[in-house]
Amino acid sequence: MASSAVAGVLTGVRVADFSRVLAGPYATMMLADFGADVIKIESPGGDETRAWRPPVDAEGNATYFAAVNRNKRSVVCDLAGDGAELARRLAATADVVVENFRPGVMDRFGLGFERLAQENPRLVYCSITGFGSGAGAQLPGYDLVVQALGGLMSVTGEADGPPLKVGVALVDVLTGLNAFSGILLALRRRDGGSGPQRIEVDLLSSLLAGLVNAGSAALTTGRSPERNGNTHPSIAPYETFETADRTIAVAVGNDQQFAALARETGLPELTRDPRFADNAMRVQHRDVLHNLLQGRLLGATGDQWQDRLTRAGVPAGVVNSVTEAFALAARLGLDMVVGEEGGARQAAGPIRLSGAAAGYRTPPPRLGSTTSPTWLDERQSEAR
């Protein structure tokens, strides 16, 4: 795995990564992509996701593990045994510590914030939990459970169907992004002379903040939004339709786009129909409008409608598979794949920073691949 990127903007930042599964590793991988030296501290059994297979990549890694652990080194430490001292020595050399144990566990290992901050006055310490460090401290933070308890499943799925989870562990990803952002904020504050910094992020808070308009509606009206399938509670038509061969999404956000949609589907009279005079009226008469448009959209293929509507200024796109989505990104020049055809391949990072692009230097590490503790002495020598 290689990249033509220049030296990363985070070169010189060392991260002691005690996290596992998804949210924490996602955050630390983003730090690593921009040059941070991330040392992944694993139990003798390794990160659980090493065993979440199939599928596996060309190098034998579980693709789940591979997705969030490139550019890292792996050190095995039995924190409940004689590995705790090595872990503390590592934390003393780190700029950032990331952990996602239940609250109190790191303290029992002698790796809590208060102790480490005394030994390392430039420390940034990020704790990721499921439900915070208060009354929810002992609740297990698994994405599926948080999607359920956090209300996301209640607004996902068809109106007359059961609640559904999102197709990926989206809450973990949101939390990882929040951790990444918090770490960068804390590094800036630390570098401004504010001393050790502690960051706390949790899955439930990340989800509730990420509900955006659904959360705002619930807080404002006191009523929880209902499931709307692929429609939108506040915009119409903003939904999926069937075409002659596949499903297409049409997202009309204003009256000009609606007029273009009516014209392109051969229904210009819709713009003169008082039931569809503005967005609020279109939402009120959504079902009637959907049926009128659906009849016309069946007359051509999804690709034909996508091309035609896009040229007319109407946001529209066929429902792609994941492989089709990566192919689309390639056609658009977005360069979203890391690795060579036939080898281990991953999604590239989404952030493009001028003059300091992300770098893809090493594949996900083998368990315990960093076997010698000499890097501790090297870091301490640098500090001197």
| Polymer length in residues for the chain | 384
Domains, the chain = 14-210+351-383 (3.40.50.10540), 238-331 (3.30.1540.10)
160 conformational bin, left if phi > 0, alpha if psi -120 to 50, beta if neither: alpha
Q: Which two tokens stand for residue 250?
A: 């049409």
- Which residue has tokens 């010189």? 12
Query: So what's the pLDDT on residue 342?
Result: 65
Query: So what's the pLDDT on residue 373?
Result: 59
Integer CA distances (angstroms), 91 to 16, 29, 289, 363, in order: 6, 18, 60, 24
Q: Which two tokens stand for residue 25?
A: 């590793």
Query: So what's the pLDDT on residue 1?
Result: 59
Query: How far apart (Å, rounded) are the C-alpha atoms in residues 300 and 296?
Result: 8
Contact status, residue 40 vs residue 49, Cβ threshold 8 Å: no
Please say whether the dihedral angle defined by the alpha carbons of residues 83, 89, 94 and 99, taken in this order, is positive or negative: positive
Burial 165-179 (b: 16+ CB within 10 A, else e): beeebbbbbbbbbbb
Query: So what's the pLDDT on residue 4?
Result: 46
Q: Kindly report, residue by residue over 20-35, the tens digit of the pLDDT.
A: 999 999 999 999 999 9
Query: DSSP readout, 221-286?
Result: HS-PPPP-TTS-SS-SSEEEEE-SSSEEEEE--SHHHHHHHHHHTT-GGGGG-GGGSSHHHHHHTH
Per-residue tens of pLDDT for the chain, all 384 residues: 555 445 689 999 999 999 999 999 999 999 999 999 999 999 999 999 999 999 998 888 899 999 999 999 999 999 998 899 999 999 999 999 999 999 999 999 999 999 999 999 999 999 999 999 999 999 989 999 999 999 999 999 999 999 999 999 999 999 999 999 999 999 999 999 999 999 999 999 999 999 999 999 999 999 999 999 999 999 999 999 999 999 999 999 999 999 999 999 999 999 999 999 999 999 999 999 999 999 999 999 999 999 999 999 999 999 999 999 999 999 999 999 988 776 678 999 999 888 888 889 899 999 998 865 565 666 555 543
- Residue 132, C-beta contacts closer than 8 angstroms, at least 6 positions apart: 200, 202, 204, 205
Query: So what's the pLDDT on residue 384?
Result: 38
Instruction: Give catalytic status of residue 172 as yes or no.
Output: yes
Query: So what's the pLDDT on residue 380?
Result: 53
Query: So what's the pLDDT on residue 377?
Result: 61
Query: Do the strands 238-242 and 96-99 form a parallel or antiparallel pair, or are they unpaired?
Result: unpaired
Q: How many CB atoms lie within 10 A of CB 93?
A: 19
Instruction: Say which of 17, 37, 95, 172 is annotated catalytic.
Output: 172
Contact status, residue 125 vs residue 113, Cβ threshold 8 Å: yes
- What is the chain's alpha carbon radius of gyration, rounded to the nearest angstrom? 25
Q: Kindly report, residue by residue over 256-311, the tens digit of the pLDDT.
A: 999 999 999 999 999 999 999 999 999 999 999 999 999 999 999 999 999 999 99
